[in-house]
Structure 1
Amino acid sequence: MTTMRSLLFASAVALSVAVSAPAFAASDVPAVASYQQVTDSYSFPLGDLRITALSDGTVPQDLYKLLIGTSHSHTDQMLDKEFLESPVEASINAFLVQSSNHTILVDTGSGDLFGPGNGGKLLDSLASIGVKADEVTDILITHIHTDHTGGLVRNGQPAFPNATVFVGAPDLKFFLDPSNARKTGYAEQYFDEAAKTIGVYEKLGKVKTFGEGETILPGITTSLHPGHTPGSAFFTVTSKDQSMTFIGDVIHVAAVQFPDPDVTIVYDVKPEDAASVRKETFSDLAKRRELVAAPHLPFPGVGYIRAEGAGSFSWHPLEYRNRAGQ
């Protein structure tokens, strides 16, 4: 979607220049060409609900350093099929679910914790659709990693002062106990950052935990899928006869992990379990033709999974619409 907008924008600029000037002077060309983006959102209906994908930005990922269970050549072969090469650009997507009574965020992006220019665009994306931070009533956290909880805070204070935060009980227990870094060998930074983000809301009594199969809000049920983190959660949202599932970090790199779901990533707390969850999830969602939303697939990160045989899968983005009417 962003690429399409960029192409249309570029075409408009080219036409304007052709009409207003006899030639493209060398002095008019930027010294260094760069990607220029605006805040991104994409909204669509789900029954009586309005769902909006929101961009928090993108970050580069060096797959040679991050992926487990693959060789550089195998990774390159899969990337080449999608006209990509390492490093790849990973989207950081958050999602908004609006009903008559609730304004719900699913994940919050990275906030300021990845440094300038890397993520941190969620509040701007919300503002672009007319939603203020203090209007958010609930926040659903798929798991406690910085690129999902970093946006909870701003300058050390709650960025969403009126929101209740929902998170899987195993994740809160794990990440708010820094001794688990030593016990498991998982990087200390995740525990430090958890204390600075969701820990702020926990101290204020604004965090509610959940287990398997709970209805936490009208039309929203949970399921736990430990592997990527101990309390990684899915949220299935239903309105009328329509539903979709927010699947968190079951998938990071579409070009690699759809065709080969056994490939894991260093962010997984338990890589083998994460791979098992991915294969089971893809198979189930493909069989049910369920609409899914994923935080790190190319924006807007909403679409369908199809089984391709021999344990391989493919991704099919939601049909894009930009017109009036239903």
Structure 2
Amino acid sequence: MHSSLFSLARAAGLGLALCSTLASAQPPAQQKTQVPGYFRLAVGDYEVTALFDGYNDLSPKLLKGLPPERIRALLARRAIETPGVQTAFNAFLINTGKNLILVDTGAGQCIGETAGMLTRNLKAAGYEPEQVDTIFLTHLHLDHVCGLVDGNKQPIFANATVYAAKPEADYWLDPTALSRVPEQARAFFNIAQDSTAPYVAAGRFKTFTPGESPIAEVHTTLEAGHTPGSTTYQFTSRGQSIVFIGDLVHNLAVQFEHPEVSISFDENSQNAIASRDAVFSEAASKKRWVAAAHLPFPGTGHIEALGKRFQWVPVEYGPYQRAPHVPLID
């Protein structure tokens, strides 16, 4: 009896000591890492994977068409009070079952430590760069072409054919371009030419006339303004469509409510505004999926028309494919 009481008391003491030790123990160290930057979406029979390459901070002063105080007020509605606005670099991978297609390649090594994550996120998503067979460039700005090559200007996508609209390639890749543009713009032309050079040398850079389909699954449309050959790419499967719009929008807080606001990077601001309005209106009326290079990752969602204004409806996180029969709770 005494032995049993002693055992119980001893066990109780050990339990109290253990509780005391656990209470005073420090929590594990903070991880300070983010999840891999990819997001999967089914569009009919096609698998679309958004890939995060990184970001840069853009000054609101780059936005033109509204007083600065109005732009700041629109940003403040989304709790953006910082001097710069974090702007994502998104690329998109489409697996049609026949082709593995990449739309744009991000900023690669051209921005610095906040970008260049595309390859690792592509691998995290279950693919390898050499599996990509087709690359479509919406335009040839550095944050869309630098990801074509590594820091030594060697091709990252060893088996891919790169496509760009002919007006875009003619503008940026013309050998005489450097003699006709201002000195401060020459670096951007050099980057476009250096990034595409190994693909050109290998015979794997091709152009097309907007409206043509470089491969059967895609429909292309010229939406000039941001650049002379800015192009959208639309894919349709089993009645569902997704359109990749490149840089038709840069700022979520401002350019949906005020599509008339341009950005300093636009080559022709009035044409860029007209292109944005036309693509937004059609995407809203047709209820197409939209994928944008600079909206907050994953940059994928729908556009709703609200009179002459628009609203961005981002994709909702969920299983890759919605179950065909989901019970309704009423």
TM class by smaller structure: 0.7 to 0.9
Counterpart in 2 of 1:127? 123
Aligned amino acid, residue 142 of structure 1: T
Counterpart in 2 of 1:100? 97
Does 2:275 align with 1:274?
no
Distance 2:64 2:163 in 1: 30
Counterpart in 2 of 1:299? 297
- The 5-angstrom pairing of residues 188-267 of structure 1 reads 188-267=186-265
SS of the aligned residue for 1:187 comes to helix
* Cα distance, 1:46 vs structure 2: 1.4
* Cα distance, 1:172 vs structure 2: 0.6
Give unmatched runs, 5+ long, in structure 1. 1-17
Does 2:148 align with 1:152?
yes
Aligned amino acid, residue 130 of structure 2: D
Contact kept? 1:234, 1:246, Cα under 8 Å: yes
Contact kept? 1:177, 1:191, Cα under 8 Å: no
Distance 1:302 1:316 in 2: 9
Superposed CA offset, 1:163-220 (max 9, x none): 0001111111100126445645472221010111023312221111111211221221
Aligned amino acid, residue 314 of structure 1: Q
Q: Give RMSD over aligned pairs.
A: 2.4
* Cα distance, 1:69 vs structure 2: 2.0
Counterpart in 1 of 2:164? 167
SS of the aligned residue for 2:247 comes to helix
Aligned amino acid, residue 134 of structure 1: E
Structure with max Cα Rg: 2
Aligned amino acid, residue 55 of structure 2: T
- In structure 2, do the counterparts of structure 1 residues 23 and 145 end up closer, same or farther at CA, with 3 Å as the change threshold? farther
Counterpart in 2 of 1:3? none
- In structure 2, do the counterparts of structure 1 residues 19 and 50 end up closer, same or farther at CA, with 3 Å as the change threshold? farther
Distance 1:20 1:235 in 2: 60
Aligned amino acid, residue 135 of structure 1: Q
Counterpart in 1 of 2:281? 283
- In structure 2, do the counterparts of structure 1 residues 35 and 273 end up closer, same or farther at CA, with 3 Å as the change threshold? farther
Counterpart in 2 of 1:90? 87
- In structure 2, do the counterparts of structure 1 residues 268 and 35 end up closer, same or farther at CA, with 3 Å as the change threshold? farther
Distance 2:174 2:20 in 1: 63
- In structure 2, do the counterparts of structure 1 residues 178 and 252 end up closer, same or farther at CA, with 3 Å as the change threshold? farther
Superposed CA offset, 1:94-126 (max 9, x none): 1110122211101111111112x2210000001
Counterpart in 1 of 2:35? 38
Aligned amino acid, residue 294 of structure 1: A
* Cα distance, 1:38 vs structure 2: 3.1
SS of the aligned residue for 1:305 comes to strand
Aligned amino acid, residue 320 of structure 1: Y
TM-score w.r.t. length of structure 1 = 0.86
Counterpart in 1 of 2:23? 22
- In structure 2, do the counterparts of structure 1 residues 325 and 228 end up closer, same or farther at CA, with 3 Å as the change threshold? closer
Distance 2:208 2:26 in 1: 61
Aligned amino acid, residue 276 of structure 1: A
Aligned amino acid, residue 129 of structure 2: A
Distance 1:96 1:175 in 2: 24
Deviates more, 1:76-85 or 1:151-160: 76-85
Does 2:111 align with 1:114?
yes
Does 2:278 align with 1:312?
no
Superposed CA offset, 1:137-181 (max 9, x none): 100111001111111001211100100001111111100126445
Contact kept? 1:39, 1:128, Cα under 8 Å: yes
Contact kept? 1:212, 1:222, Cα under 8 Å: yes
* Cα distance, 1:221 vs structure 2: 1.1
Aligned amino acid, residue 76 of structure 2: D
Counterpart in 2 of 1:14? none
Distance 1:320 1:55 in 2: 16
Counterpart in 1 of 2:138? 142
SS of the aligned residue for 1:198 comes to helix
- In structure 2, do the counterparts of structure 1 residues 125 and 71 end up closer, same or farther at CA, with 3 Å as the change threshold? same
Aligned amino acid, residue 151 of structure 1: G
* Cα distance, 1:70 vs structure 2: 2.5
